Chains A and B, each alone.
Chain A
Amino acid sequence: MELLDRYLQAVKRHLPWERQDDIIAELRANLEAQLEDKEAELGRPLTKEEAEEWLKHFGSPLQVAGRYQRQQYLIGPAVFPVYWFVLRLSLTWCAAIYMIAKAVEIAANGASAGAIIGAIAYLPWVLLINAAVVTLVFAGIEAAGTRYPGKCVPMAPMAPAWSPADLPPLGADGKKKPRSFAKALAEVIFGFLFLGWLLLVPHYPYLMFGPGAWYLASLPYKLAAVWWPFYWCCVTINSFELTWKTVDLVRGAWQGQKVLRHFAMHVLALILLGVLMTAPGRALFLLKNPAADAAKLGAQLATANKGVETGITIAFAIVVLQLVWGVGKLSVGAWRKRLAAAR
């Protein structure tokens, strides 16, 4: 029957090459036996339409051949939990490393809007490549496990060894213990002490540098004027936080997690770093006597200023990432809660 030959030829094209002749021979024997039975029942050969209908019922060549494949999925249920864990971990680290590397690169080469937009636009591709590589590796592990079941290490023992005793204590994951009154009180007391110390430092530098203060005073360098607004911003932020904590303590609201304050502190930290970034010429340290020392110490000082500027830019990027991460985590949590409530 020509139609059956054509059908088997089409199936053969999609079969694994090393077994295709054997499979086709068996399929042919089974189908021909079935055909004979059908024709004996009818007492005549099948018409072209009947033969087409019969083969159609058997399934498309691609579908039939697919069922003879050893493996019909990329990553099976035994490997999937480990794959999913590794994928999420690698994507998180990949995104973090990429953003820090790009922040350093941009800081070193001079920040421009184009460079920042380019770095952000390229991030999805980096994550996609990372996900593809992880998926390929795990597909390889799955394929090897399927093909050589006795020779490969089964996937279940690859799950990290664990003991119930090592499980994190209750509350360590999200629901933290409420803060004790003693802790809240100690924070306020030490906060006042710190603020007092901070206010005294400009008048008595040895409170910060110890005996080194006299040595620093003898150096030919001085702080740029931008350090004064930076200092007063520090004082304001500390006063703000201390006021907030004191009000909480007085109101009896020291327990609970202060999410809003946490974010407010991140924003204020950004302002603080932003103040330093506004220094004229990005010079945070200056020469006391430029006319006399510029030729000798100017280049050295410029290098030091550049290094400090890079450090501040990186710190700024890290705080922005922390803020984005925190807001994202909070949004996902709220969304999950809403979803759970809707169910």
Chain B
Amino acid sequence: MTLSESLFENLRLELRRGCLTLAVLAQLKQEHYGYTLRKALASRGMEIEESTLYPLLRRLESQGLLTSEWREEEKRNKRFYRLSGEGEQIFARLLEEWNQINTAITNLL
């Protein structure tokens, strides 16, 4: 990987990091478990690697933005996540911030 490619990759990951959190919070207005969440996000054009998504869900839960429960579905125990009350509030504020940034960037380009 050349220096400029490596720099681009770092900046891309940095840019994506916050967006991924926003995308996950948006998708978890409906209940999902890890795998279906990943599929749902991918179907809307937001591909996330499993090794990034599953730890992210844990972190968001430990921060109180998500709630989870173990439940049996199709004869298998799965952990289902959804937005918590606090998560909904934070998501609304983040969305507002995102819209402002998006508008500003669009105006700049």
CB-contact partner of A26 in B38, B52, B54, under 8 A: B54
Question: Does B77 belong to the interface (CB within 8 Å)?
Answer: yes
Across the two chains, which residue of chain A brings its CB closest to B34?
A: A30
Question: Does B79 belong to the interface (CB within 8 Å)?
Answer: yes
Question: Does A272 belong to the interface (CB within 8 Å)?
Answer: no
Known: A32-B76, A33-B76. A27 touches B54 (CB 8 A): yes
Centre residue among B51, B55, B77 by max chain A CB count within 10 A: B51
Which residues of A approach B to under 8 Å, CB–CB?
Answer: 23, 25-27, 29-34, 37, 58-59, 63-64, 67-68, 70
> Do B55 and A67 touch across chains, with their CB atoms under 8 A apart?
yes
Hey, which chain B residues are within 8 Å of A67, CB to CB?
Answer: 51-52, 54-55
Known: A23-B58, A68-B58. A29 touches B34 (CB 8 A): yes
Across the two chains, which residue of chain A brings its CB closest to B59?
A: A70
Hey, which chain B residues are within 8 Å of A37, CB to CB?
Answer: 35
A37 CA / B76 CA spacing, docked (Å): 14
A23 CA / B55 CA spacing, docked (Å): 9
> Do A29 and B51 touch across chains, with their CB atoms under 8 A apart?
no
Hey, which chain A residues are within 8 Å of B58, CB to CB?
Answer: 23, 68
What are 12 A-B residue pairs whose CB atoms fall within 8 Å in the complex? A23-B58, A25-B79, A29-B33, A30-B34, A30-B35, A30-B54, A32-B76, A33-B78, A59-B51, A64-B51, A67-B54, A68-B58
Hey, which chain A residues are within 8 Å of B70, CB to CB?
Answer: 25
Hey, which chain A residues are within 8 Å of B50, CB to CB?
Answer: 30-31, 34, 58
A34 CA / B37 CA spacing, docked (Å): 12
Instruction: Give the tally of cross-chain contacts (CB within 8 A).
Output: 46
> Do A29 and B78 touch across chains, with their CB atoms under 8 A apart?
yes
> Do A29 and B79 touch across chains, with their CB atoms under 8 A apart?
yes
Least Cβ–Cβ distance between B16 and chain A, in angstroms: 15
A160 CA / B79 CA spacing, docked (Å): 45
Q: Decide if the interface of chain B is mainly helix, strand, loop or mixed.
A: helix
Having A29-B33, A30-B33, A58-B50, one finds 11 other A-B pairs with CB under 8 Å, namely A26-B34, A27-B54, A30-B34, A31-B50, A32-B76, A33-B36, A34-B35, A37-B35, A64-B51, A67-B52, A70-B62
The range of chain B's interface size is 10 to 19
A158 CA / B35 CA spacing, docked (Å): 42
Least Cβ–Cβ distance between A187 and chain B, in angstroms: 54
Least Cβ–Cβ distance between B18 and chain A, in angstroms: 15
A33 CA / B49 CA spacing, docked (Å): 15
> Do A68 and B55 touch across chains, with their CB atoms under 8 A apart?
yes
A64 CA / B58 CA spacing, docked (Å): 13
Centre residue among A23, A27, A37, A67 by max chain B CB count within 10 A: A67
Chain B 28-83 interface residues, beta-carbon cutoff 8 Å to A: 33-36, 38, 49-52, 54-55, 58, 62, 70, 76-79
A13 CA / B52 CA spacing, docked (Å): 19
Hey, which chain B residues are within 8 Å of A68, CB to CB?
Answer: 55, 58
Hey, which chain B residues are within 8 Å of A70, CB to CB?
Answer: 62
Centre residue among A23, A26, A58 by max chain B CB count within 10 A: A26
Interface membership of chain B positions 70-98, coded 1 if the CB is closer than 8 angstroms to chain A and 0 otherwise: 10000011110000000000000000000
Least Cβ–Cβ distance between A46 and chain B, in angstroms: 16
Hey, which chain A residues are within 8 Å of B76, CB to CB?
Answer: 29, 32-33
Across the two chains, which residue of chain B brings its CB closest to A32?
A: B76
Hey, which chain A residues are within 8 Å of B78, CB to CB?
Answer: 26, 29-30, 33
Hey, which chain B residues are within 8 Å of A33, CB to CB?
Answer: 33, 35-36, 76, 78
Least Cβ–Cβ distance between B107 and chain A, in angstroms: 29
